Each structure stands twice: as C-alpha cells, then as structure tokens.
Structure 1
C-alpha cells in the first residue's frame, strides 16, 4: 500500500473537494469498484446502492454542511455520480445492513503520561486487496484550525488531529441494533470532530450529536497547557456512551463495546479476535508507554501464532472478503501537530520506514 500526500490552503470546502477529486479521480474510482465488489461478496443488493449512497449524502449535508459541500466537490472533480461518493462514505453503514462482521480490524492504544502529550498508536486493519492506495491530507478550516488526517480515497476521514490539540483514533464496532437504514456515516463523524473541536468536551459533544446507523468508537485525545486527556466515545444505533480516561491513564480499544449497557447488544461473536487482542494490549502496557512511537510499536508485535492478530496477516486460502491485513501503523503527535506512520503492519516497521506528515 502507498500513502499519498495532499496539502492545500483552500478554505472553501467545495473547491477543496473538487481539487482532491480531480487530483485522485483514478484512485477514488478504483475504491468505488473495490467496495462494489466487497458489497457483492457479502450479498448487499447492488440495485439498492444508489439510494443508500444518496441517503448517506443527505444525512451529511444536514448534519455537517461543509463536509457535504466537500463531497459534492469531490464527486464533481472525480467525474462520478453523487451517489457513489455517498456510497463510499457509508461503506460501514452499508455493511451493517447485512450484518457483515469482519474477523480482522483495528487495535488502539493511548497512554496519558503525567506530563507531556498523549502517547498513541494504532493499527488499521482492512481487506488486503481493497486499498492499494490511501491518503493523508493537510488543510485549514474556516475557523482557523489546521487539520491533518489519514483516510481511504473518497472518504472524509478516519484517523487524524488538528493543531488545537485534538486527535482521533478510530475502531469499528458491531451492535445488534445497527443496520436499520442509513444514518450519519461514522467516517464523517470522525472528520467533523477534527474540523470543529478545540477541546475534549467539544469533541465529545460533536461525536455524541450524530444519529448513526453503524457502530464505532472514537478514542479522542487532547493536549492543552501541558495536560494530556482522552475519552472513548462508543457510538451505535442502540445509543452512545463516553468512557472517561481511567486513573492510570491507559485507554485501550479493539472491536467490542466496553460500556456495559452497550455491550449487552454486542454483535461480535465470543470467539472473535477482538477479545484476546485487548487482553494482549493490556499485558503490554509498558511497551506501549514508550516515548518514541517507533519503540511503541513493540507493544503491537503480537500475531495469530502468539494468540491474537494485533499484527494481522492475510490467509491466502480465504476469499478476499474474509482476508485481513494490518495496512498501516499510525500514531498522533499532538505536541507537534503531525501524523506519524508506517505503510504496513507493526512487524515490518523500521526506523527508516517511519514517516512524518
């Protein structure tokens, strides 16, 4: 996988989206075709995709008009129908309509030291053949923030930070109530936090305001006046919950609910890797607390053979919709407002492969 870079000073969301769509039209179209193939494999009714995409875009237009304007611009720049850009951004919500639950997915660690910025890191796991190229973007908001984020082509956001000291890590969850229609896409929620929040309280409020139809957890970190803080906002159709940072300052998350009320509707099977992955993260806290993010990666070096695929490799014997791979290893540097990442899973990280954006 190659992570492409795009930096702009464009303040107008439509023009910014149009420029991104024009610059990366081929990659966006390839991502659309990849997701249509995935939807066919998990038996999403392809005839219904235009309506689902249009509904998702309408929700974004109402809930976050600037983000909606950016998507309208992206569609124009890439020369694609609006419903297709809506479909891309609702890929999680569309998968939820058929209860498509993946065995792979992300593992996130945040450590809050007594002094200094949060020490964060996560893997992003997804289907190994669906994302040959991804994107990091830097742009200014109309309110004067500078945002940097990582995402898939054509999708509003995923993992990122702003220069007001707010950052977001992102893990998919699965709740029994999910999949009834299409709500505000969770990827739009992650991006809206970065665009709109200057404090942890503002970030939580933005996330909690979204009426979603698929589940996710945003691990939101903040750093202001030398003080690190964080909270985990679990979102689902069955309700939202905010988990405050514990006294020991360790916030870990994989792909199941930690809030007791929401956990009652947990859809991930008990044999899922999400549960042992969390246990392995808990056992490796000392490694995950390293100041240097490259040293922090050692806390993620757990494979299936070790009992949990935190560092996930695809099984070539499986069909592509059942194959998973750790595609990026990424950390947030809130002190210097930058993303740090490696193109690949933790076991291939080398100091010379670690990139800064």
Structure 2
C-alpha cells in the first residue's frame, strides 16, 4: 500500500465548486505544504514576496474565466475548503508563471523530468503506455496528492498533482492522458496568456487528442512547456509550446521520449534557456533512446520500470537524486514515477525514486 502520508488519494465529485471544496478540505495539510514551499521559493529564488505573487496571480482571473469559468469555481472551492484566500490558491495554479517573473531562469526553479509514450506498435499486448519521472524540489513531495474527480458534464479524471493545483499529470475516462516537461526561454509573450497548469486541466477535460492540442494552443501560454499526450486509440504526440508558437510531433515509430529542451526544428529559433541550466537533459533523452533501441522484444511495463530507475549519469540521471554538491536551492530529486495504461484506465505509481520505491497499481 502507498504511504497515505505521502500522496493521499482524494475522490471528489459534484459541481466544480463542490469538487474544489472536497479537495481543499481533505488535502488541507498538503495545501499548507504547497503554499509554504512556494512562498519560500518565490522569495528565495525570484525575489518575489507572497503578497506580490498573489496580486500577480489575480491578473489571470479574466483569462481563466474566458477559458473555462468552471476552473475559477473549483479554485474558489479549494480556497474555502482549505481556509486560504482565492488569490493564494490562484498563486499555486500560476506558480510556474510567478517564478519566471524573477530574474533567474535556471535549474533552481525549473523541474527536470523525463517523459515517454509507447503505442501498440511497439508494446507487448498492444497497450498504449504514457508516463514520466517527475523531478522537482523534494520538499514539495509531501504536498502532493492523487485526485480522482468524477464530473457531471466532462470526463472523469485521475491525476497526480500538487495540492491546490487543478491540472497536472494524469488521464481521463475518455482514454487520453498528459505528462509534463518544463521548458523555458528568455522570450516573453505579451498580452493575454494562459497559465500552463490551467491548460493541463483543459487537456484533461478533453475527449480526443485533437481537442487536447486545441485546449493548450487556443490561447498563448504564459510560459513554455512540453506535453506528451496519448490516446487509448494507440496514438502518441509530443507537443512543444514555445513563446507564441507550438509544434506537434507524432509517434510515427511507435514511441517518443522527451526531457527538458526543445527538439522540434520548427522552434529552433527559440532561445532555449533550460538546456543551459539543465545540461543533463541531453543525457537523459539520449539514455532513453539508447535503452529503447537496445530492446530485442516488445516493450513491457517491466522494461519501462527499469528505464525509469536508470542511474546512468547519477545523480542527474533519469532516476534523479539530490546532488549534495549543489547549492540546496538547485537540488532536484524524483518525486514520483508514473506509468499510465490508457486503455485500462489505470496507472503504476511509485511514490519516490523508482530505484527504491515499489510501483503500486492504482485503478478507480
């Protein structure tokens, strides 16, 4: 069984406000940790006071309401359930955008994840498997939850998220899922922009891959991101979103992997700052490609578990461990590892480094 102190499972249903209320009440401890983590991070690494972060977060309300007013209702429910202000929960949902308002765009505030998709073309049993290792500040691990949301007019959602954030890594009852890699650039989009985690919720509320792409490209994102998306129909797409532009790469050979730098030639003009701050991104991507190509059989879940536990280039490996030689603020570790079976609507979940933590099968 998963340690319920880490990654508690919360089931919510009802109206958007009611879903948020359950989220806020049952994950209050984790919301406390998320707010404490980002309050410190905004100041320590970007020089932004919590009050200023909340003021900045409020500027996104009109855009979020235009995108989908249900999301502000859910955020309001989380606020009421946890006892925080709406602007404070908003600050969590735009935490990536707030960090990038500071002068630093480097590994101290950029996560370093490894994502993948394997389609029936290359998998044993014809599965579509989507997942990643999510690497971030280890202090935030205790602020994470597993949410299962039963919605009235949209697909049901299963996701792993930071408490208080309404869109993250997961899949839905329409058989589609999404993972995330941080990307960054020194280029900034002016005008109306959408927070990347709000876009992720829009993706999880979609019913097809094309709808997922539309959900994250119908407005400019406020910062860069890579989304690996896939469908139980056997398709996978790598979606890179840059400043005011995007590109989608189809899994023509049956699989794709991605780390933390831009890959598509269409976006080669972008000043990619993550590849400077996280040079291990090239090594992790190369290692994934090498391990996949070395297999002499169809890919199994066991093979993916082994890949996610790989320690080549340790500690900045696919299975990432904190580097004690780095300043504390720059240390990253694998907070969790996830492998989603989109047809069966279930996931294998390791609550920490997959080299030591057992994967648990979770299905609702």
Is 1:74 the equivalent of 2:78? Answer: yes
By how many angstroms is 1:62 displaced? 2.1
Distance 1:52 1:149 in 2: 26
Given candidates 226, 231, 245, the residue that maps to 2:251 is: 245
**Kindly tell me: are residues 331 and 28 of structure 1, through their superposed partners in 2, closer, same or farther at Cα, counting changes over 3 Å?**
same
**Kindly tell me: are residues 163 and 327 of structure 1, through their superposed partners in 2, closer, same or farther at Cα, counting changes over 3 Å?**
same
By how many angstroms is 1:182 displaced? 8.1
By how many angstroms is 1:308 displaced? 5.0
Structure 2: runs of 5+ lacking an equivalent: none
Distance 1:130 1:307 in 2: 19
Distance 2:154 2:192 in 1: 32
Distance 1:332 1:214 in 2: 26
By how many angstroms is 1:241 displaced? 1.5
By how many angstroms is 1:238 displaced? 3.4
By how many angstroms is 1:186 displaced? 0.8
Question: What's 1:160 paired with?
Answer: 170
By how many angstroms is 1:141 displaced? 2.3
**Kindly tell me: are residues 180 and 43 of structure 1, through their superposed partners in 2, closer, same or farther at Cα, counting changes over 3 Å?**
farther
Secondary structure class of the residue paired with 1:255:
coil
Is 1:42 the equivalent of 2:50? Answer: no
With 308-317 and 150-159 compared, the bigger mean Cα shift is at 308-317
By how many angstroms is 1:293 displaced? 2.4
- Contact persistence 1:18–1:73 (CA under 8 A): yes
By how many angstroms is 1:179 displaced? 7.4
**Kindly tell me: are residues 322 and 181 of structure 1, through their superposed partners in 2, closer, same or farther at Cα, counting changes over 3 Å?**
farther
Given candidates 198, 202, 210, the residue that maps to 1:192 is: 202
Deviations 1:287-336 (A, max 9, x none): 78865424411112333645951111112343432110001010111111
Give the RMSD, CA atoms, in angstroms: 2.3
Alignment of 1:167-316 (within 5 A): 167-178=177-188, 183-195=193-205, 197-224=206-233, 228-246=234-252, 248-265=253-270, 266-270=272-276, 272-285=279-292, 291-303=299-311, 305=313, 308-316=316-324
- When the two structures are superposed, what TM-score results if normalisation uses the length of structure 2? 0.88
By how many angstroms is 1:180 displaced? 6.1
Question: What's 1:339 paired with?
Answer: 347
- Contact persistence 2:167–2:204 (CA under 8 A): no
**Kindly tell me: are residues 58 and 82 of structure 1, through their superposed partners in 2, closer, same or farther at Cα, counting changes over 3 Å?**
farther
Distance 1:134 1:347 in 2: 20
Secondary structure class of the residue paired with 2:310:
coil
Secondary structure class of the residue paired with 2:139:
coil
Question: What's 1:64 paired with?
Answer: 68
Distance 1:130 1:2 in 2: 10
Alignment of 1:8-157 (within 5 A): 8=12, 10-46=13-49, 47-98=51-102, 99-102=104-107, 105-114=112-121, 116-157=126-167
Deviations 1:236-278 (A, max 9, x none): 32312222222x1121100111122323211224461111111
**Kindly tell me: are residues 181 and 74 of structure 1, through their superposed partners in 2, closer, same or farther at Cα, counting changes over 3 Å?**
farther
**Kindly tell me: are residues 290 and 13 of structure 1, through their superposed partners in 2, closer, same or farther at Cα, counting changes over 3 Å?**
farther
Secondary structure class of the residue paired with 2:8:
strand
Secondary structure class of the residue paired with 1:48:
helix
Structure 1: runs of 5+ lacking an equivalent: none
- When the two structures are superposed, what TM-score results if normalisation uses the length of structure 1? 0.90
**Kindly tell me: are residues 126 and 308 of structure 1, through their superposed partners in 2, closer, same or farther at Cα, counting changes over 3 Å?**
closer
By how many angstroms is 1:30 displaced? 2.0
- Contact persistence 2:236–2:255 (CA under 8 A): no
Deviations 1:104-141 (A, max 9, x none): 51001111122723122310000122332311111222
